[in-house]
Amino acid sequence: MQCDKCGAELQKGKCLVCEMLATGETPGGTTTAGWPIVSKAMAVHRLQAAEANAEMKKHNIGVKFDNAGNAHIPDRGERKRACKVLGMKDNDGGYGDA
């Protein structure tokens, strides 16, 4: 099932993406300044969002793509892992980032 608001997959009846955006907490329970972020640079075409979500789920990465194709990234570690899977270079990353 998918969230009516953002299109992300529901887990246990609730949308983690909408919850992260509302509270600022990552699924792991940590709160960090500036996270989660919505990335248009890592976005996919809106018709490929479901495929991209399946790929992230396959690699156990917490990045979710909404109906518009924008990437919702919970923290630095998930951004690093997503960049590696998608074959992207993170120009905004610091030491230890992809």
In a domain, 5, yes or no: no
C-alpha distances out from residue 55 to 66, 72, 98, Å: 14, 14, 18
Question: How many domains does the chain divide into?
Answer: 1
Residue 3 lies in a domain: no
Task: Give a yes or no: residue 38 inside a domain.
Answer: yes
Does residue 92 fall inside a structural domain?
A: no
pLDDT tens digit string along 28-64? 555 556 778 999 999 999 999 999 999 999 999 999 9
pLDDT at 2 over 90: no
Residue with more model confidence, 96 or 50: 50
Structure confidence at residue 98 (pLDDT): 54
Burial of 85 by CB count in 10 Å (0-12 exposed, 13-18 middle, 19+ buried)?
A: middle
Structural domain contains residue 28: yes
Q: Categorize the per-residue pLDDT at 92 as very low, low, confident or very high, splitting at 50, 70 and 90.
A: confident
Q: Is the pTM of this model over 0.75?
A: no
